[in-house]
A and B are shown apart, each in its own frame.
Chain A
């Protein structure tokens, strides 16, 4: 969850980077201060050692130390003496301390070979001191001026602290500002989230995009376009369902009424039989309608599914469908003629759907042509044409034929009004196009590659 929160990650990374930069500059400052302190005190120690080595220590008297101590104590009363942890001592040839500063210096241990700066522990508490060893001019005495290293560290820390503390306050303010800014800048996202989560399932109105920052706009735009597509799909589905329900009302009414007639005519055999026959026709109409509806809704739902096409056996498919509807054609004395010539305009396709397409075309052709008509099925490298003559169709209705549930006026045969919709849909799924035409009393449907 932490990984997924953009806000948390932004704040965390900003904080880490700021703290890192602050820490780095503090370390650098510490290093520089430490060098500066070393240089400063080394120079100071050297200066003191130089003065001490210029003095004549050969006739120092045993009482001198005590007297100097008293003089210093008297001075201390009103002088500001910062304890810089400096100490010095003077040794004679034999390593015997002959003079010191009465403080830390008296604990220095004689180091016969040392010359220049040496870091060494003092005799008192074993603390580490930096001591400069120097011979006097006459070479009879050795001068040692030292400073506790810990003091130098302390001085450097103080310097760093002085430099870094304001930064630290700045850093805290900056982090606070980062948190507030990140929160504020991510607000549009929060608003969108709230807007979407509060929505009703059927509220697909677009989100407002005018106040959204540039980075979020594409998201809103694409979500709005998704909303748009979903709402179009839903309204398509709704109109399909309402059309379907509407269409089912007629056969249902017919069945209901015919059933009542059958009951009323219980003592009239002929009328009773006729009503039952009509009831059967109504049932047939309703079941055909449901069948076609299901086929169409499946076709509309699964546009993605029909991608793996097979090599089509047109010859077999056409002959199968003719065989299926032979008796229907025969009863109307309709002749079916086929003209199949390879290569075909459509080589690959979904076998079952192509059968459904042929079935609907043939079914329509038989249903809507008059007695003794002729149906022609032509297939070649350009198109598939199914045409039939002796058709009574008004030219003005031609363009509406592919519409769902559209049936021209005065139809006596049962039909769902979905046949050509199904043919059109299957054509589209195969990247093909359906066109209808009417010449005289000959109606034809042609399928061509897009």
Chain B
């Protein structure tokens, strides 16, 4: 899951960036509002973490501008103020959830997951496909009832394909979902991950549609 993180505070931003990556998210971190505002148009983000107290551009106006442009990405706002007003204004401006500083990393991750799940209308705790069971909450996968260990990127790939069942996903789209701007991507990265998934879960679960992409078809 690719997350857009806009936070000006170096220590908080670095911690969120590092921590969310370790918790299985792919993050792009921007330290100023202008760049962060632009970034949403450049990649398919699953959710946005937006600090309201940005020095150059007000977080709320960024949010409003996105919503005006019909961007529907779920947005989690971070406020420094404890007062209710700002939360209400934030939610009214189109935010999906808020957290007040000081918050914990685990809380940010949990809220992001909940937001993405809600956005994908996927409230069931387990997603079953053929002989595979996927548990989004714990991010664990079972093959014929036996647990399978997947690398983080493999897990992300599986998640994207599972959520978009019967839809053909292009290689570029999958690449963008899996990797942030900062990460170096090898040209055959997605193929490699697909190969590993097939090896671990069975050859027939992912179909290759020549020159277009991949699909998980019922």
A: residues with CB less than 8 A from B are 245-246, 249-258, 260-261, 264-265, 271, 274-275, 278, 281-282, 285, 407-412
Q: A254 and B18: CB pair below 8 A?
A: no
Of B15, B23, B31, B81, most buried by chain A (CB within 10 Å of CB) is B15
Q: B55 and A264: CB pair below 8 A?
A: no
B: residues with CB less than 8 A from A are 8-12, 14-16, 18-19, 22-23, 31-32, 55-56, 80-82, 100-106
Q: A278 and B15: CB pair below 8 A?
A: yes
Q: A261 and B15: CB pair below 8 A?
A: yes
Q: A254 and B56: CB pair below 8 A?
A: no
In the complex, residue of chain B having the shortest beta-carbon distance to the beta carbon of A248: B102
Residues of A within 8 A of B104 (CB): 256-257, 260
Compute how far the CA of A411 lies from the CA of B19 in the bound complex, rounded to whole angstroms.
23
Task: Choose one: B11, B22, B81, B106; the contact of A254 (CB below 8 Å).
Answer: B11
Q: B55 and A261: CB pair below 8 A?
A: no
Residues of A within 8 A of B31 (CB): 410
Compute how far the CA of A181 lies from the CA of B203 in the bound complex, rounded to whole angstroms.
108
Q: B15 and A249: CB pair below 8 A?
A: no
Of B8, B11, B106, most buried by chain A (CB within 10 Å of CB) is B11
Residues of B within 8 A of A249 (CB): 80, 100-102
Residues of A within 8 A of B18 (CB): 261, 265, 271, 274-275
Give min CB distance, A284 to chain B, whole Å. 10
Compute how far the CA of A274 lies from the CA of B17 in the bound complex, rounded to whole angstroms.
13
Residues of A within 8 A of B101 (CB): 249-250, 252-253
Compute how far the CA of A411 lies from the CA of B102 in the bound complex, rounded to whole angstroms.
20
In the complex, residue of chain A having the shortest beta-carbon distance to the beta carbon of B18: A261
Q: B11 and A258: CB pair below 8 A?
A: yes
A-B contact count (CB 8 A): 79
Q: B80 and A409: CB pair below 8 A?
A: no
Give min CB distance, A20 to chain B, whole Å. 69
With known contacts A250-B9, A254-B9, A410-B55, A275–B15 Cβ distance under 8 A: yes
Compute how far the CA of A254 lies from the CA of B32 in the bound complex, rounded to whole angstroms.
17
Q: B80 and A278: CB pair below 8 A?
A: no
Residues of B within 8 A of A257 (CB): 11-12, 15-16, 19, 103-105
With known contacts A275-B18, A410-B32, A254–B23 Cβ distance under 8 A: no
In the complex, residue of chain B having the shortest beta-carbon distance to the beta carbon of A408: B55
In the complex, residue of chain B having the shortest beta-carbon distance to the beta carbon of A249: B101
Compute how far the CA of A281 lies from the CA of B104 in the bound complex, rounded to whole angstroms.
18
Residues of B within 8 A of A258 (CB): 11, 14-15
**CB-CB nearest 6 A-B residue pairs:** A409-B55, A257-B15, A254-B11, A260-B105, A249-B101, A253-B102
Q: A254 and B19: CB pair below 8 A?
A: no
In the complex, residue of chain A having the shortest beta-carbon distance to the beta carbon of B81: A246
Compute how far the CA of A282 lies from the CA of B101 in the bound complex, rounded to whole angstroms.
14
Residues of B within 8 A of A275 (CB): 15, 18
Compute how far the CA of A249 lies from the CA of B100 in the bound complex, rounded to whole angstroms.
9
Q: B103 and A253: CB pair below 8 A?
A: yes
With known contacts A256-B103, A410-B56, A246–B80 Cβ distance under 8 A: yes
Compute how far the CA of A73 lies from the CA of B14 in the bound complex, rounded to whole angstroms.
138
Of A251, A256, A257, A265, most buried by chain B (CB within 10 Å of CB) is A257
Compute how far the CA of A89 lies from the CA of B22 in the bound complex, rounded to whole angstroms.
144
Compute how far the CA of A411 lies from the CA of B31 in the bound complex, rounded to whole angstroms.
10
User: 17 pairs across A/B with beta carbons < 8 Å?
Assistant: A251-B11, A253-B12, A253-B103, A254-B11, A254-B12, A256-B105, A257-B103, A257-B105, A258-B14, A260-B104, A264-B19, A275-B18, A285-B11, A408-B55, A409-B56, A410-B8, A410-B32
Residues of A within 8 A of B10 (CB): 412
A256-B104, A410-B32 provided; 11 other pairs, C-beta below 8 A?
Answer: A245-B82, A246-B80, A246-B81, A250-B80, A256-B103, A261-B18, A278-B14, A278-B15, A407-B55, A410-B31, A412-B10
Compute how far the CA of A412 lies from the CA of B105 in the bound complex, rounded to whole angstroms.
22
In the complex, residue of chain A having the shortest beta-carbon distance to the beta carbon of B57: A409
In the complex, residue of chain B having the shortest beta-carbon distance to the beta carbon of A250: B9
Compute how far the CA of A408 lies from the CA of B55 in the bound complex, rounded to whole angstroms.
7
Residues of B within 8 A of A410 (CB): 8, 31-32, 55-56
Compute how far the CA of A408 lies from the CA of B12 in the bound complex, rounded to whole angstroms.
18
Residues of A within 8 A of B55 (CB): 407-411
Q: B15 and A254: CB pair below 8 A?
A: yes
Give min CB distance, A148 to chain B, whole Å. 101
In the complex, residue of chain B having the shortest beta-carbon distance to the beta carbon of A268: B22
With known contacts A246-B80, A282-B11, A408-B55, A252–B19 Cβ distance under 8 A: no
Compute how far the CA of A257 lies from the CA of B19 in the bound complex, rounded to whole angstroms.
8
Give min CB distance, B150 to chain A, whole Å. 18
Compute how far the CA of A264 lies from the CA of B106 in the bound complex, rounded to whole angstroms.
10
Q: A409 and B15: CB pair below 8 A?
A: no
